[in-house]
Amino acid sequence: MPLARAAVRWSVGHALPRTMLRRSAKQGDLHGRMFVATQSGDRAALEPVMDELRAHAPFYRGKFASVTVDHAAVRALLSNPDAGARFLPADRESSLARLLSWAMEDAPLGPLTPPSLLVTEPPDHTRYRKLVSRVFSARAVEKLRGRTQQIATELLDQIDPRSPVDLVATYCSLLPVTMIAEILGVPERDREKVLRLGAAAAPSLDLGLSWTKFRHVESALREFDQWLGHHLDGLRRQPGDDLLSQLLAAQEDGVSLTDVELRSTAGLVLAAGFETTVNLLGNGIALLASSPEQRRLLAEREDLWPNAVEEVLRVDPPVLLTGRMTRADTEVAGVPMRRGSVMVALLAGANRDPQVFPEPDTFDITRQNAREHLSFSAGRHFCLGAALARMEGEVGLRTLFERYPEPRVHNGAVRRSTRILRGYERLPVTLSPLTL
């Protein structure tokens, strides 16, 4: 029976949409073509499709979804109370709805399964978010700057700058995972495992996985949840000075989360804490390494670093898109949407909207309004970790470029194959200048 349930989850969530979108792509549907273009993780493949979508702003009405790359429409959609983050068959009594709810009975907890914050709406969403948001406020995060700096320096100390090194493995992934693990009280001996499981579970945000990949992802999610359960048991016995111990204490006071809510929230915060920031660092290194002018500016004016991070987020966002489904008839950016409409917000497209960002394809760290990008989403699901990511991005990039001002990226750079999470899988770099 578990296999039959998994087969239904895969068919409805991956096989069917993949077949339908590929078919619609062949018929010229831009949503379908966008799906096909995200297959390689390569930005260049997507850009012409985004340009075509822009000609249909604010919404391109595809066969299966309305898609927007328009900055104002993306913001309006993400802030609309009638557009929910959960995708459910419009008719809850239909046989498809009943089949799905049967199949979901033994689905592993994941970022897109309730009660994950990402797919929960008020009032539950407000309750979960309130419990964790204090720890990630801008003020709380500022206190972590010194520690982040120390970790970044230690990581660089361990790298031999004379030979090529993969900076994703040695720096970009380790800085955020160490930080979020310390915030959550994950012991050092478990970090390797958490990183491995996080990477294996990352495609869980994607649509259209193969059966083998889907099974692999679900088994990583189960192993992650099991590990989290043990970890929480340990903290129950021996609480520390970390976020999870605080959540457990709140749970014991009876104010807050059930066991499953706790595991889901903790799991999301942990995974989101490193699976995205790794991309910000990698994308930033690649962009800056190929922009000597921008590097020179940063060397002269260190006050530009925060804005440089915003510009990296704008030009090469770590999260490509998000989706919503209307729970009632509504209007988005002046366009009427019927209940049950599926909508796709291309964050990467909104970030290149020429009405908001003049010369949108130019990487310019002095851009006045770079911070208006939508890479952290908007509205009630606005990224909880934005302040942490910004701080880690700034410390991580600055520490690297101050020590090694002219890194050279080698040919073997490889983008990740995930569709939603965008960044580098491998970034081979030589750090120190050539000595002749």
Site for ligand HEM in 73-92 (CB under 6 A): 78, 85
Q: Which stretch binds ligand HEM (CB under 6 A): 31-39, 49-57, 193-201, 371-379?
A: 371-379
350 binds ligand HEM (CB under 6 A): no
Q: Return the axis-axis angle of helices 145-157 and 386-403, rounded to nearest 10°.
A: 40
Q: What are the C-alpha distances in Å from 40 to residues 51, 281, 317?
A: 18, 20, 16
Structural element, H or E, at residue 424: strand 424-426
Give min distance, CB of 396 to ligand HEM, in A.
11
Site string for ligand HEM, 372-391 (x = CB under 6 A): ---xxx---x-xxx--xx--
Query: Two tokens at 67?
Result: 């898609």
Give min distance, CB of 18 to ligand HEM, in A.
21
DSSP sequence for 271-338: HHHHHTHHHHHHHHHHHHHT-HHHHHHHHH-GGGHHHHHHHHHHHS-SB-EEEEEESSSEEETTEEE-
CA atoms of 222 and 216, how far apart (whole Å)? 10
272 binds ligand HEM (CB under 6 A): yes
Question: With contacts defined by CB under 6 A, how many residues of the chain interact with ligand HEM?
Answer: 25
Binding-site member from 100, 319, 346, 400 for ligand HEM (CB under 6 A):
319
Q: Is the CB of 24 or the CB of 381 nearer to ligand HEM?
A: 381
3-state secondary structure of 121: coil
13 binds ligand HEM (CB under 6 A): no
Give min distance, CB of 322 to ligand HEM, in A.
4
421 binds ligand HEM (CB under 6 A): no
**421 - beta bridge partners?**
319
Of 380, 325, 320, 390, whose CA–CA distance to 351 is shortest? Answer: 320
Provide the sign of the torsion angle of the four alpha carbons 224, 226, 229, 233, taken in this order.
negative
Give min distance, CB of 117 to ligand HEM, in A.
4
Q: Which stretch binds ligand HEM (CB under 6 A): 148-156, 314-322, 335-343, 362-370?
A: 314-322
Site for ligand HEM in 89-128 (CB under 6 A): 117-118
At CB < 8 A and 24+ separation, what contacts does 91-95 make? none
Task: Write out the residues near ligand HEM by the rule CB under 6 A.
Answer: 78, 85, 117-118, 129, 136, 268-269, 272-273, 276-277, 280, 318-319, 322, 375-377, 381, 383-385, 388-389
